[in-house]
Amino acid sequence: MSESNLPRAARLAAALLLIALPMTAHATISPEAAKVIDRYLVVAGGRAAILAEYTSHTKDTVSAFGFTGTIDAWTQRPDHVASVTALGPFTLKDGFDGATAWRIDQNGKLTQRDGKDLENEKGQAWFENDRWLEADQGGGAITVKSVGSDSLGNYTVLEITPPVGRPHDLWFNDESGLLDRIVVKNDAQTLVTRLTDYRRDQGRMRPHKQIGTVVDMPANTILITVDSLWVNPVIDPVVFTMPAAAATNDAKFIPGGTTATLPIRYGERHVWLKVSVNGGPPEDFILDSGASVSLLDSAWAAAHGITGEGKMQAVGAGATGGVAFTHVHSLKVAGPDGHGVELTDQKIAVLALNRFIAPFFWRDAAGVLGYDFISRFADRIDYDNSTLTLYDAKTFKYDGKGTGMPITMAGSIPVVKAKIDDTYEGDFRLDVGSGSTVDLHSPFVKQHALATKVGKTIEIMNGGFGGTFTSHLGRMKKMQIGPYAWNEPLVILSGAESGGLASQDYAGNIGNEVLDRFVITLDYEHRMLYLEPGRRFAKRDKFSRAGVELARFGDTIQALQVLPGSAAAAAGVKEGDSVTSLDGKAILTYAPDQLNDMFQNEPAGTKHTLEVLRDGKKMSLTLTLKVLI
């Protein structure tokens, strides 16, 4: 294996979970780092031999996620890379021609990379083409980061920073002088690639095995073994060039045409649709622009004879969870008149979805419609009138009364610029699968010391795929997206240590409590977001005046969290109490949205009677609503 392909395991791990940018960094290398590089060059075969490799092509065997498959990878100096990965149900194609980066996903959807994705692809191509070994470091910077040892030896760790993209930590073995491992902080994940089985091959010492892992995600270990290597082959430029059009023909309008308007239910601050899987009866699905793939709940899938294969860990809002994969013949969404859309032959995920969401929604979902559904269309969500209108992505032209703003993509998630308090600007992911207002990511919170600027805060529990975590809720002065602004927004200062809300690349997530102020149109194909103020635009963000999170477990409603100083705490409600009735009515006769409306909008001082069961004893408690924030 050529060193030009060293980070391939990390690339695959990141994948399964573009306009050229100028190279502005100045080449620098510290004297101590130069000694390490010089020794490496000697033992690896010499700078001249390494840089004489203008192109490379490798065929590898890959084992990961319960599957065994193959990788074909190509490089061409100075900045071209491409790969085709066939693993279980997935075939992924990636390319970068020095200016444009692209991917074809497991369902054949072609996406051009932009934003942070493009920056990182450019940096990755720099590494894979050995630019850091050039006499001027290829415009990058190299310093000694640390020295240390573990059970496998003593190491000098160099931090190598490309002109654009992520820095890599390269661990060099002090005894052999060879490169032992590569560590890359990939936003909220850390990817570690171990290089083993070095052999002298075509004039160079080369590792013939890579073992890639994601820190704290042991199920995602990837083993790549070299089968064949060609040095300086002639490579057809088409290998690196983005195809002219998507290779998919898996989405159609029913019975025809280029548009469909579908009913939605906007409940529990989420967008719900009825979806037929494999021709079966319509089931409840959640629309989620934050989901990289569509998915089925594992229990629902098993009950309908749909089996998953393989296993990996995937990142959710606050943590990680286990995922398998399956193939469905069709996903159909249609209105009462039969008009709608259908996707065929889809490769999607299977996971224990309801374990995480059902307690908070008081209902199950059969699945989630994610990027592979949403990106097939231009999508107009009208929260006020409970409709989702889908348009043909290629021919769509916006003709509404709103304002358009450019978006980029964070992998599969749309990103728009937004600003807090006229000062704190950043790139925010648009997450239709979040019922939150704005979740400010923990690195952004720390960078701007927002915990000291937000005033009074309340410690709350957040939940999502992967688990629950603690954050702080507070008010800031103003929020603005494009020309639209409103005062006193509630923001959540994320306390997540891992997962999507610990992202370093993005300032935060914008959820439905912001988005439902508008009629929103997402045009992935042309990278645009359109906002039209709706009936909720001028609303003031409100928070529960009860101060208790009621979660459903089977037929039991439990007080999951009681906020200190809240009405619930003053009434004597304790976490773990089973709530059986409210104002003389069985608690299960209420819907979550009814309780939410009651506890947020009724005046402070309004009294309610809660019947609870604690340690087998019935108790009657008086809840007097109180403004917390």
Position 192 pLDDT exceeds 50: yes
Which pLDDT belongs to residue 1? 33
The arithmetic mean of pLDDT across residues 245-258, rounded, is 84
Q: How far apart are CA 569 and CA 424, in angstroms?
A: 35
**Nearest 10 degrees: Cα torsion 427, 431, 434, 439:** 0
Which pLDDT belongs to residue 319? 44
| 326 SS3 class | strand
Which pLDDT belongs to residue 168? 97
Distance, CA of 14 to chain centre:
11
Which pLDDT belongs to residue 22? 32
Which pLDDT belongs to residue 496? 77
> How does residue 163 score in pLDDT terms, banded at 50, 70 and 90?
very high
Position 499 pLDDT exceeds 90: no
Token digits of residue 532: 């039209």
The arithmetic mean of pLDDT across residues 282-288, rounded, is 98
Position 76 pLDDT exceeds 60: yes
User: With pLDDT > 90 as the criterion, what percentage of the chain qualifies?
Assistant: 82
Which pLDDT belongs to residue 609? 97
Amino acid identity of residue 490, one-letter, is L
Strand partners, 549: 561
Distance, CA of 330 to chain centre:
25
- Over residues 95-138, the pLDDT tens digits come to 999 999 999 999 999 999 999 999 999 999 999 999 999 999 99
Which pLDDT belongs to residue 34? 96
Q: How far apart are CA 29 and CA 50, in angstroms?
A: 19
Residue 164 backbone phi and psi in degrees, to 5: -150, 145
Helix (H) or strand (E) holding 280: none
Output DSSP code: residue 113.
-
Q: Which of 301, 411, 293 is nearest to 348 (CA)?
A: 293
Considering only 24-28, 82-86, 173-177, which range has the smallest mean pLDDT? 24-28
CB 74 within 8 A of CB 81: yes
> How does residue 89 score in pLDDT terms, banded at 50, 70 and 90?
confident
> How does residue 501 score in pLDDT terms, banded at 50, 70 and 90?
confident
Residue 596 backbone phi and psi in degrees, to 5: -60, -45
The arithmetic mean of pLDDT across residues 265-288, rounded, is 97
Strand partners, 480: 419, 485
CB 283 within 8 A of CB 277: yes
pTM of the entire predicted model: 0.90
| 79 SS3 class | coil
Amino acid identity of residue 92, one-letter, is L
Distance, CA of 415 to chain centre:
11
Q: How far apart are CA 609 and CA 583, in angstroms?
A: 5
Q: How far apart are CA 411 and CA 367, in angstroms?
A: 21
> How does residue 463 score in pLDDT terms, banded at 50, 70 and 90?
low
Q: How far apart are CA 258 and CA 346, in angstroms?
A: 21
Is the Cα torsion angle 184, 190, 191, 195 positive or negative in sign?
positive
| 619 SS3 class | strand
The arithmetic mean of pLDDT across residues 564-577, rounded, is 96
Which pLDDT belongs to residue 246? 57
What the chain holds in terms of domains, given with CATH numbers, is: 3-239 (2.50.20.10), 251-380 (2.40.70.10), 392-533 (2.40.70.10), 548-624 (2.30.42.10)
Neighbours of 195 (CB within 10 A): 23
Considering only 332-336, 469-473, 519-523, which range has the smallest mean pLDDT? 469-473
Alpha-helix residue ranges (DSSP H) falling in 109-226: 115-128
CB 312 within 8 A of CB 395: no
Residue 525 backbone phi and psi in degrees, to 5: -60, -40
Task: Name every residue whose Cβ is closer than 8 Å to that of residue 302 and which is 6 or more positions away in sequence.
Answer: none
> How does residue 468 score in pLDDT terms, banded at 50, 70 and 90?
low
Position 427 pLDDT exceeds 90: yes
Which pLDDT belongs to residue 236? 97
CB 100 within 8 A of CB 112: yes
CB 515 within 8 A of CB 269: no
> How does residue 314 score in pLDDT terms, banded at 50, 70 and 90?
low
